[in-house]
């Protein structure tokens, strides 16, 4: 396969992890034409995971979040245009319209539009001091209210909510986490792992409350800022600020208006192509019509997935065959705990623990019909590396062997 000589240029809409990666990979693959990245934020492509951790804590600068510096784009002859919004895609003319009135032609188009936080739709949701975390600007705005001694309510017990809680309590805020489900992390992990994280957060001083539905927000006497969170029969919780982390909505509007197939994401094939072969979609906005490894339709929200899809799209545009997608993996940093996850554990019928959740170092292995389909590792980096291979190779290993800590997981894996 060779580069399609009809593709004279590539435009990428979205200057996040995926958008920044795909142009670099295109150039590495030998693409000779013009490359342009267009982003709405006034920043070069940057990493979002540190927003709820190191950047919120003030440990790193906004510049340090960049996936690459300006010099790297200049060296690769990539034009990065920030602070611009694309208003429309004309698929027939192969042109895009910008809100500033410009009109640009493309040979291939890559949609890396990401997602936006799911908003609360309850009374009082527009009050001041209710925050969402998705961009650098979101965190900068939050920091003014993120002060020791203040009361913080976090709505949502997912990764973002728990990561923020771990930073906030260390900064002296009084933190309450409200989760509507019976346990935190309910959509992504086992009851055992949820119980572990609930115990850790309570140990650190976070008030974790599960099975709580937020019904509204109450304003302070002046009427401008949030002063309380209404929780139905559970009563009202006084607060000085609220952070909402209840999920992500993929930014698919531009694609839908252009007539591309959309269903909880922009539908793409195994080459990251949309229903228009000249348009690709990657990252949080894209949904795999049939993920080659997982064998199902799925939308993945992670840096590794964004990087993987960028690699696939760049290769497809350049006519290069790539290895099939492997198992997805994720991570979360809370306190001094590094949680690393591989595979999707939903549907497992057996859970095997190496180590014990009463400690701060163990791994949970999820099996289905005897096959290792996923793993969650807490402070077990070596085991996680082995677990990635077990999941990728769909290894079947007896429970008794997996539980035997007299041997390393790597040694055990080598026997099967």
pLDDT in tens, 242-275: 999 999 999 999 999 999 999 999 999 999 999 9
Residue 290 in tokens: 């049939």
Angle at 217 between CA 214 and CA 218, to 5 degrees: 140
What is the C-alpha to C-alpha distance for residues 246 and 243, in angstroms, rounded to an integer?
10
Look at residue 372 in the predicted model and tell me its pLDDT. Answer: 95
pLDDT in tens, 142-196: 998 999 999 999 999 999 999 999 999 999 999 999 999 999 999 899 999 999 9
Distances (CA, A) of 315 to 2, 25, 26, 267: 10, 8, 7, 18
Give the Cβ contact number of residue 144 at 10 Å: 9
pLDDT higher than 70, residue 68: yes
pLDDT higher than 90, residue 63: yes
pLDDT higher than 90, residue 222: no
Look at residue 268 in the predicted model and tell me its pLDDT. Answer: 97
Whole-model pTM: value is 0.93
pLDDT higher than 60, residue 398: yes
pLDDT higher than 80, residue 229: yes
What is the C-alpha to C-alpha distance for residues 244 and 317, in angstroms, rounded to an integer?
38
Distances (CA, A) of 63 to 54, 68, 217, 307: 13, 10, 35, 20
pLDDT in tens, 303-353: 999 999 999 999 999 999 887 888 999 999 999 999 999 999 988 999 999
Burial of 278 (0-12, 13-18, 19+ CB in 10 A): middle
SS3 137: helix
pLDDT in tens, 114-133: 999 999 999 999 999 999 99
Average pLDDT over residues 357-374: 94
CA dihedral 22, 28, 31, 33 (to 10 degrees): 80
pLDDT higher than 80, residue 385: yes
pLDDT band at 4 (very low <50, low <70, confident <90, very high): low
What phi and psi values does residue 60 have, to the nearest 5 degrees?
Answer: -135, 160
For the chain, list the domains and their CATH numbers.
Answer: 9-116+248-317 (3.50.50.60), 119-244 (3.50.50.60), 336-414 (3.30.390.30)
Look at residue 223 in the predicted model and tell me its pLDDT. Answer: 73
Write the DSSP symbol of residue 27. Answer: H
What phi and psi values does residue 54 have, to the nearest 5 degrees?
Answer: -65, -40
pLDDT higher than 90, residue 276: yes
Average pLDDT over the chain, rounded to an integer: 94
Look at residue 415 in the predicted model and tell me its pLDDT. Answer: 85
pLDDT band at 1 (very low <50, low <70, confident <90, very high): very low
pLDDT higher than 90, residue 416: no
Look at residue 323 in the predicted model and tell me its pLDDT. Answer: 76
Residues in Cβ contact with 22 at an 8 Å cutoff, skipping those fewer than 6 apart = 12, 110, 112, 282, 310, 313, 314
Look at residue 312 in the predicted model and tell me its pLDDT. Answer: 95
């Amino acid at each position: 396969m060779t580069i399609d000589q009809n593709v004279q240029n590539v435009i990428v809409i979205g200057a996040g992890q995926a958008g920044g990666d795909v142009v670099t990979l295109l150039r590495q693959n030998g693409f000779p034409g013009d490359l342009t990245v267009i982003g709405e934020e006034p920043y070069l492509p940057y990493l979002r995971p540190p927003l709820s951790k190191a950047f919120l804590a003030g440990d790193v600068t906004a510049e340090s979040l960049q996936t690459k510096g300006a010099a790297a784009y200049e060296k690769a002859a990539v034009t990065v245009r920030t602070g611009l919004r694309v208003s429309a895609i004309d698929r027939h003319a192969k042109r895009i319209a910008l809100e500033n009135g410009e009109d640009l032609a493309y040979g291939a188009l890559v949609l890396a539009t990401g997602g936006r936080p799911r908003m609360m739709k309850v009374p009082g949701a527009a009050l001041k001091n209710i925050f969402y975390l998705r961009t650098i600007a979101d965190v900068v705005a939050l920091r003014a209210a993120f002060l020791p001694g203040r009361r913080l309510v976090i709505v949502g017990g997912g990764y973002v909510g728990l990561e923020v809680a771990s930073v906030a309590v260390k900064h002296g805020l009084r933190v309450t986490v409200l989760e509507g489900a019976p346990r935190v992390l309910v959509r992504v992990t086992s009851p055992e792992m949820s119980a572990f994280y609930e115990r850790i957060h309570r140990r650190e001083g976070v008030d974790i409350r599960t099975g709580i539905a937020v019904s509204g927000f109450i304003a302070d006497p002046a009427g401008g800022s949030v002063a309380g969170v209404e929780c139905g029969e559970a009563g009202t919780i006084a607060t000085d600020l609220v952070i909402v982390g209840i999920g992500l909505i993929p930014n698919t509007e531009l694609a839908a208006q252009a007539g591309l197939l959309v269903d909880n994401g922009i539908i793409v094939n195994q080459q990251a192509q949309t229903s228009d072969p000249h348009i690709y979609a990657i990252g949080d906005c894209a949904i795999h019509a049939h993920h080659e490894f997982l064998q199902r339709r799925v939308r993945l929200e992670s840096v590794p997935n964004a990087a993987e899809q960028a690699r696939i799209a760049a290769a497809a545009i350049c006519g290069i065959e790539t290895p099939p997608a492997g198992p997805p993996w994720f991570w979360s940093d809370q306190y001094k705990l590094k949680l690393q996850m591989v595979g999707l554990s939903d549907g497992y019928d057996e859970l095997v623990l190496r180590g014990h959740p009463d400690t701060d170092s163990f791994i949970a292995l999820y099996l289905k019909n005897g096959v290792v389909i996923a793993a969650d590792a807490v402070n077990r980096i070596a085991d996680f590396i082995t677990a990635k291979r077990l999941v990728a190779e769909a290894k079947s290993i007896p429970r008794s062997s997996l539980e035997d800590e007299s041997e390393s997981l790597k040694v055990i894996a080598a026997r099967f």
